[in-house]
Amino acid sequence: LLRRGKGKNGGTDLRQKLEAVGLVLPPGRRKATSVSMLTSLVEAEAQDLANQFTKVCQAIFPSGELAHSTFQSRESMQHRRPGEREELQRSVQASLNLAGEFREMLERYMTQEVADRNSADIQLTGLRSFSLITHSFGVPTISGVMSVFQNYLSALLALASGLPVATNNTATDEYGQAHYVDMPPPNHSHYS
C-alpha cells in the first residue's frame, strides 16, 4: 500500500483508500521536503539498508590498516619532539571520548520509543527531522560510521600505546582475494 502510494497519482489513491476506512490525510504536506533517493524507500527498507551498510563497514572497512598508516607516517617524521607519542595518546583518547558521546546520543535516539521521539526535547527535534527526511536511514547509518571511526581511533590509540593491532579486517585472504561479508538476505515480508 505504501509502495503504491509513492507512485504516480499514488497519493490521491492512497488518500481515497484511507478515507474509505475513516482516516483523513491532508494533501500536499509531504511536498515541503526535498526529494532524494531515500524518498522511494519505505522505512523498513531504509532501516535494512542502514543495518547492512553498518555490518559491511564493521567487517570490511580497514580501520586497523588506516590507523597503522597514520601512526607510521607520524613515527617517520624526522623532527619528532619529546613527548609527542604521549600527546598523540591524549589527543586520540579525547577524540575517542567525544566520538563515543556522539554515538551514544544517536543510540539513545534509536532505542527510544516513538512517543518519546516526538517529545519537545530540543536535542531530539533535529534528529527526528533528519530521521524523517532520510526515512530512518540516516541516524543508524551515521551511528555505524561513527563506530568505524571509533575502531580507527582505538587502533591508533593502541599503536601509540605500544600495543599490537591486527591490520587485516578479513577483507582479503593471504592471496589478496576479497571476501565478502556473509549477510542474510533482507526480510522483504514487511515491505509490502
Residue 192 pLDDT class (50, 70, 90 cuts): very low
8-state DSSP, 32? G
Distance in angstroms (rounded) separating the CA atoms of residues 176 and 163: 25
Question: What end-to-end distance do the CA atoms of the chain give, in Å?
Answer: 7
Residue 179 is predicted with a pLDDT of 43
- Cell digits of residue 163: 600495543
Of 88, 103, 101, 99, nearest to 157 (Cα)?
Answer: 88
Reported as a single tens digit per residue, the pLDDT across 35-75 is 667 667 777 888 899 999 999 999 999 999 999 999 988 88
Give the pLDDT of residue 150.
95
Report how far apart, in Å, the C-alpha atoms of 153 and of each of 40, 58, 88, 92 are. Answer: 35, 14, 11, 6
Question: What are phi and psi for residue 87, nearest 5 degrees?
Answer: -65, -40
Q: Taking 90 as the threshold, does the pLDDT of residue 129 lie above it?
A: no
Task: Identify the bridge partners of residue 178 per DSSP, sorted by sequence position.
Answer: 172
- Return the pLDDT at 191: 46
Would you tell me the crossing angle of helices 138-160 and 84-111 to the nearest 10 degrees?
160
Q: What are φ and ψ of residue 70, in 5° steps?
A: -60, -45
State pTM to two decimals: 0.67
Q: Return the pLDDT at 110.
A: 84
Query: Is residue 31 predicted with pLDDT exceeding 90?
Result: no
Give me 94's grid cell. 579525547
Better-predicted residue by pLDDT, 186 or 55: 55
Stated as kind and residue range, the H or E segment containing 103 is helix 84-111
Name the nearest CA neighbour of 142 among 158, 155, 131, 156.
131
Closest C-alpha to 96, from 162, 158, 139, 154: 154
CA 188 to the chain's CA centroid: 21
Question: For the chain, what percent of residues have pLDDT higher than 90?
Answer: 31
Average pLDDT, the chain: 76
- Confidence band (pLDDT; 50, 70, 90) for 183? very low
pLDDT of residue 174: 45
Q: Which of 6-10, 11-15, 21-25 has the highest mean pLDDT?
A: 11-15
DSSP-based three-state secondary structure for 185: coil
Kindly list the distances between the CA atom of residue 139 and the CA atoms of 110, 144, 164, 179, in Å, as whole numbers in the listed order: 7, 9, 33, 28
pLDDT at position 23: 65
